[in-house]
Structure 1
């Protein structure tokens, strides 16, 4: 993959492998949006609430949040235990294209976040740096995640949503990204 999110040639070993894998899945996600209008990027094509632009927004927010976690620890994450229905509704906006949003803008923001993550991974003194996870019903109590574990999570999240995007795109106009 040769794009702006591909790891620099000087990065080797585990970091290069992690960043190359993440770059591959980012590519597949972005590729599902090729040649679409803003309206198509916001269109739901399945029983799900998901749309292609919303998936890119969500993955952008996830990657940004976890990169912040690597640097700042749990203070970078929301206090999930005190979130209201309104808070969860606002978070749901990351899964859809909102009025005034464009596919080009969403993709540009994703590229910026990806670039920042790649630079962070390259600059980390160690992938073993870890922080406690915030309290949330979906996290094991007192668990800690290393930068490595966070990157594996971001890779899994990106790959999963690239697959969702492929289904949505095929339902939209028959185009396939992965098969």
Structure 2
């Protein structure tokens, strides 16, 4: 964003909240090597590097939703998956929450930074009242829509929630806390 761009206080507030929670989220992975970023220190499948991947993908997917509308969801019968031989779509979904062979925390953070710039740029310019239909899903009411504004509020909440998950993982690894 250039200094001559003037943001409404609403846009500035959304950006400020998103930046604050991104900063808290990034703090949880500071000074970690790839092995610790990929480790699973709790009974959960989550790892810090995987959370970075997830938050990056979430920002990108919701920004694409704002500009392009909903995308078709994979046709997966989640209730009847053979977990000894899951379909490729399920493996790809699971890999969105973990660091896989060849991924580094530095590369994941660079991708997150790129997504953040794209999100911030979109927030600075998009019509916040523009609406898109939510995809058909059991958790969405038929015909429901979200405004760009609602998507950005959701991104703030999602980033804050994932920062909390990350804080628990990091504290379990070495005692570092984001706050307190």
TM-score normalised by length of structure 2 = 0.89
Tell me what 1:30 maps to.
26
Counting only pairs closer than 5 Å after superposition, residues 96-135 of structure 1 correspond to structure 2 as: 96-124=98-126, 126-135=127-136
Counterparts of 1:8 and 1:170 in 2: how far apart (Å)?
A: 41
SS in structure 2 at match of 1:95: coil
Identify the match of residue 72 of structure 2 among 72, 78, 85: 78
Structure 2's unaligned 5+ residue stretches are 82-86
Counterparts of 1:25 and 1:142 in 2: how far apart (Å)?
A: 31
Tell me what 1:160 maps to.
161
Tell me what 1:68 maps to.
64
Change (3 A) 1:103 1:8: farther
Change (3 A) 1:17 1:41: same
Counterparts of 2:4 and 2:98 in 1: how far apart (Å)?
A: 32
Deviation at 1:47? 1.3
Counting only pairs closer than 5 Å after superposition, residues 5-16 of structure 1 correspond to structure 2 as: 10-16=6-12
Tell me what 1:169 maps to.
170
Deviation string for 1:136-169 (max 9, x for gaps)? 1222221000001111111111100000000000
Deviation at 1:38? 0.4
Change (3 A) 1:88 1:38: same
Deviation at 1:9? 6.9
Runs of 4+ in 1 over 4 A off after TM superposition: none
Counterparts of 1:153 and 1:32 in 2: how far apart (Å)?
A: 21
Tell me what 2:84 maps to.
none
Q: State which structure, 1 or 2, has the greater radius of gyration over its C-alpha atoms.
A: 2
Counterparts of 2:174 and 2:99 in 1: how far apart (Å)?
A: 18
